[in-house]
Amino acid sequence: MSAAIPIESKLTSSIHSTGSLTFPFSWPDRSNFSNGEKKGRNPVKKTIASLLALLFILSPLSAYAASSLTLQLSATEVQRGGTILLSGTASGNGDIVVKIVNPKKAVFHIDVLTVSEGLYSAQVAIPSDEAAAPYGTYTVVAGDGTESATKTFAVVQNGGNPPVDPTDPVDPSNPVITTPDSSGKEIPSNSGTASGSVVQPALSEDGRYLVGSDTISKAIAQANAGSVTIELPESAVQAGTVLELPAEAIQALNGNSLDLVLTSNNRTIRLPAGAIPAASVEDGATIRLVIQAVYSDEVQALVNQSLAAAKDYKPTGVAIAVEIEWVSGDKTVGVHQLDKPAVVAIKLTNEQAKLISANLAGVYYIDGGAPQYVRGTLEGGTFTFRTAHFSLYSILEYAKTFSDLKGHWSENSVLGLAAKHIVSGVDDSRYEPNRSITRAEFAVMLMRTVDWTEQVDIPDASNPFKDVAADRYYTEQVAQASALGIVSGYEGAFRPNDRITREEAVVALLRAAKVIGRDVTSTAELGFADAGKISSWALEAVKAASSSGLIKGDGTQFHPGNPLSRAEIAVMIERLLPTGS
């Protein structure tokens, strides 16, 4: 199985000069993705990557009626080893993305064509071998981001017809699809079977997995756990086989406030009710979903490309992607952004679990550029992460090294938090563990921790402090920490550049623990010899932090007025994180 390499929506001339790219799958682009998926952050570039079909960012279907984009093919039938010419017109001089889907629903060819004086064209070679060019109907889709056009052609044998043996059964692990493109075909209402709230989809003659509206209704009537589950065979995830449901099935799930759960062997994807945004679709529309979880040579190459300039990352061989599309007739609208985040769980095999370091591993969005961190926790052999959009994700280890941490008592804590992108070095090679930190630096680290736990919605907060300028690196986090009640000031001032003391840090740490739902109560008297030096406003917080194990002092004393070091804050934050993170 092969896959595409990333291509920006505006390719450089050097990439254009390489000609077309022919691969069986491509990953969807994410033009609005950002690390953490926070409102207002910069979008990453559009790409075409490996394995699943390209998701064009399109307007609602009603916009296609007045399309100025055209597409023509030089033939309706072509033999293996031949060629077919694609051409058409488009307004302006931008780029056109052309995708060809083969009879097995895999992306056979994908290319970005330059429009010159309103015209575009490309010649596509049809491979001579059966595996690369199966007989049957191929669908060509051209799109520029707002409009699309579709045509079909057939790869045929010398006699002019695709060879079909009607007695051959369909192998679910490698479906042989010789019927014309099934996009928009009506799904029989009784497709699939429901046992309680669990649905087994039916495999159609053209190789799709189908679930009908009546089957979903039966599952909804028997649902008692807030969700309906569709179980796909492992072969479907290995081959990237399409799962289709009628639009009314999604509407019925949403109307009953039921999540849609997709499972296959060791992978689970939970789409909350209302997560899939509604599309302006015609009657008979379907929702198409594809899960792909094969770490092929092409995926490995794409991951390695992303890590080429990121020497501290290590691949683990685990990847997953999901494609969601609304389909109506020959019109397709890709679902790029979910209205509610989905939860993805991947249970590692015993071999994978042995090889992956839970302290260093995380989930990353892969697009051929630098890997984008999206968190992820490993507990009980299962990696779980949340995402508001789908694309190619892979589990990577981030083993950052610092020359001044080797053998230091805080080394493991710092490296674990660096892998979670909560702490970073003062430069690429040094952490300076013994340097004290300012109140502003502390607020930034603490808010990264709160954000990482995903236990609370981080508010958009206005800055309440007169000495915190609007353009500082810490302004947003200080305002958020204040809004959550984690930090406070001194008569309207925050004193961002003051060195934070150990007792000040513990007070804020306890407040953060309560915000993320951690139970930290005082159960014992302090055993520190210098307990009498602790300020009265910090005493209960120090007691609670000591009782819950968040702080330990130096064994005999707490040193409440001493500045907090970068090593100490790393250890405190590590203890604050939930067990297993």
Judge whether 391 and 321 are in contact, CB under 8 Å. Answer: yes
pLDDT at position 273 over 90: yes
Could you tell me the pLDDT band of residue 280, with boundaries at 50, 70 and 90? low
Judge whether 375 and 365 are in contact, CB under 8 Å. Answer: no
pLDDT value for 185: 65
Judge whether 199 and 209 are in contact, CB under 8 Å. Answer: no
Which residues of the chain does CATH 2.60.220 include?
Answer: 193-398
Which residues of the chain does CATH 2.60.40.1930 include?
Answer: 13-156
pLDDT value for 328: 84
- In this structure, the chain runs to a length of 581
pLDDT in tens, 93-138: 678 888 899 888 888 888 888 888 778 888 898 988 888 888 888 8
CA-nearest of 506, 471, 504, 470 to 489 is 504
Tell me which fold the domain 13-156 belongs to. Immunoglobulin-like (2.60.40)
What are the CA-CA distances from residue 13 to residues 7, 54, 411, 467 (Å)? Answer: 12, 21, 46, 49
What are the CA-CA distances from residue 535 to residues 419, 486, 490, 503 (Å)? Answer: 35, 18, 15, 8
Amino acid residing at 290: V
pLDDT value for 348: 93
pLDDT at position 502 over 50: yes
Give the residue-averaged pLDDT of 33-62.
33
pTM over 0.85: no
CA distance 273 to 226: 9
pLDDT in tens, 69-90: 888 888 888 888 888 888 888 8
Q: 193-398 maps to which CATH number?
A: 2.60.220
CA-nearest of 366, 431, 369 to 569 is 431
pLDDT value for 281: 54
CA-nearest of 158, 153, 127, 322 to 242 is 322
CA-nearest of 121, 74, 73, 126 to 103 is 126
Looking at per-residue confidence, does 54 or 195 come out higher? 195
pLDDT in tens, 413-456: 999 999 999 999 999 999 999 999 999 999 999 999 999 998 89
CA distance 435 to 454: 29
pLDDT value for 45: 29
Is residue 417 within a helix (H) or strand (E), and if so which, with residue range?
helix 411-419
pLDDT value for 295: 87
